[in-house]
Amino acid sequence: MFRQANPYDELVERATSETLTSENWDLNLTICDKVQREADSNGPRDAVLSATKRLNHRNANVVLYVLTLLESLVKNCGINVHREVASRALTSNLVKVLNDKTVHESVKRRILELIQQWVLEFRHDPSLGLMEETYQQLRAQNFHFPNPQKPEKKELTQAERQREEEELQLALALSLSAEELQKTQRAAPSSASQGPKDSTGGGQSVDGPARRAAPGGEPARAQVRALYDFIASEPGELGFARGDVINVMDSSYKDWWKGEHKGRTGIFPVNYVEKVLPAPDPVAEADAEAHVLAEARKVERLLQILHSIDPARDNLSDNQELMDLYHATLAVRPKLVLLIKTYNQRKQELLNLNEKFGRARLKYNAMVESSVAMYQAGPAGPSLGSSRRTAASPAGVPTTAAGTGGSGTATAVPGARVW
């Protein structure tokens, strides 16, 4: 009948009390330990929910303590907390606080800093894509995110360098293998229906495109895209602008990579860039989208079963169809989030292009109107008709032109020619 009290409310209130003069790290770590122990139950959800409620406090210090607690939870408590932080409940609350004109600027700066930090931490997990969506939404609203701090230049150990190199090569190999597999699958039906072709008949082998993708047998070079402007302040650093694509040459430092851009080489901070994935195959994208949309029937069927079940009477685990449908739809969720992220990025690119076109059109119209106005306001000379009348009238003989105060007709003068 009554809602059960959140077991984290008391701890969170003490850790974010308005009577504190600084962060209570002991309580923050106590909450993190409790969440880790209850990671498989409702611990992550209850902790983040309790912190979210405190975001609406009118005391700026309380909100700053809450944000510090959320940062601690993300850094210490794993994927279950990440999902709660990247949920609609928390992200919408953060956007609401940012749009509140009464909130202190220090709180807004801290929120923007954390959202940017979480986007970088969550970028490899499509199921956490809502944080990236929130980031793009805020950028479209002209919120200015701070540039991340440059990491210290700490040299990698040999083992760390080898592990990073293996991870990089594995990622490249997986992307190339997936591309070759897709091409092989598309080529198989046509090969089966058409039969073998003569080598001189213009036929193309299956592995031809793969060879063209890496001419001369050279491995594909990894690339990264700049998320922010980076101004080189020390010798050996590689400066770039936001949106530039840098070729990665080496990872000699833990948080710094060596790269090449526009003929220049140098090191740059890894937290200023994101990896550039291989260009998506349109056919593969269409297949992935069709697969996700085809799963809609399973989702509808799952909802039908859930509506027909009485939890007080029926045992959910005994319904095999329900279990199968649930796990099948759960597997589609990351693909759906990835599609949403892809189309959201494309939508944002189109909106930016439309905005640029609108500015260009307004500027062009203003320049045309200005040019026409200057032409019309040029030095006015005598009209052709008035010059003829002046030339025809003898010197000293006045004429009265229509519209200048006379009767509207010229006065006849003996010996003068009337026009």
Whole-number pLDDT of residue 194: 45
Assess whether 259 and 161 both reside in one domain. Answer: yes
Residue 346: inside a domain:
yes
Q: Locate all alpha helices (DSSP H) within 296-406, ordered by sequence.
A: 296-308, 320-376, 384-392
CATH code: domain of residue 163: 2.30.30.40
Which residues neighbour 243 within 8 Å (Cβ) at sequence distance 6 or greater? Answer: 225, 226
Residues 259 and 305 in one domain: no
Rounded to whole angstroms, what are the CA distances from 307 to 303, 320, 347?
6, 16, 35
**Cα 67 from Cα 83, distance rounded (Å):** 16
Residues 75 and 123 in one domain: yes
Residue 308 falls inside a structural domain: yes
Could you list the mean pLDDT of each consecutive 10-residue stretch along the chain, which spans 419 residues? 75 92 90 88 90 92 94 91 92 92 92 91 84 89 78 62 67 60 54 42 37 42 83 86 87 78 88 76 78 84 84 76 82 79 79 86 89 75 46 46 44 46
What pTM did the predictor assign? 0.46
Shared domain check, 270 and 153: yes
Identify whether 316 is part of a domain. Answer: yes
Identify whether residues 28 and 93 lie together within a single domain.
Answer: yes
Asked, for residue 388, whether it belongs to a domain, the answer is: no
**264: helix, strand or coil:** strand
Measure the CA angle with vertex 233, ends 232 and 237; round to 5°: 45
pLDDT on residue 48:
93
- Phi, psi (5° rounding) for residue 352? -65, -40
Q: Which two tokens stand for residue 122?
A: 């969550």
Q: Which of 119, 140, 161 is the last residue of a domain?
A: 140
* 306 and 334 inside one domain: yes
Among positive and negative, which fits the CA dihedral 42, 45, 51, 54? negative
Predicted pLDDT at 252: 62
169 & 266 share domain: yes
Same domain, residue pair 299 and 254: no
Domain count, the chain: 3
Range of the domain at 235: 147-191+218-278
Last residue within a domain, chosen from 140, 161, 182: 140
Judge if 249 and 325 occupy the same domain. Answer: no
The CA distances from residue 293 to 19, 339, 345, in Å, are 52, 11, 20
Q: What is the pLDDT of residue 278?
A: 66
Residue 352 to residue 41: CA distance in whole angstroms: 43
Residues 26, 122, single domain; the answer is yes
For residue 249, give the 3-state DSSP assignment. strand
Which helix H or strand E contains 10, and what residues bound it?
helix 9-15
Number of C-beta neighbours around residue 13 at 10 A: 16
264, β-bridge pairs? 261
Residue 35 domain flag: yes
pLDDT at 31 (0 to 100) = 93
In this structure, are 251 and 290 located in the same domain?
no
For residues 310 and 286, membership in a common domain is answered with: yes
The reported pLDDT for the residue numbered 73 is: 93
User: CA-to-CA distance for 348 and 172, rounded, in angstroms?
Assistant: 28
Q: What is the CATH number of the domain that holds 46?
A: 1.25.40.90
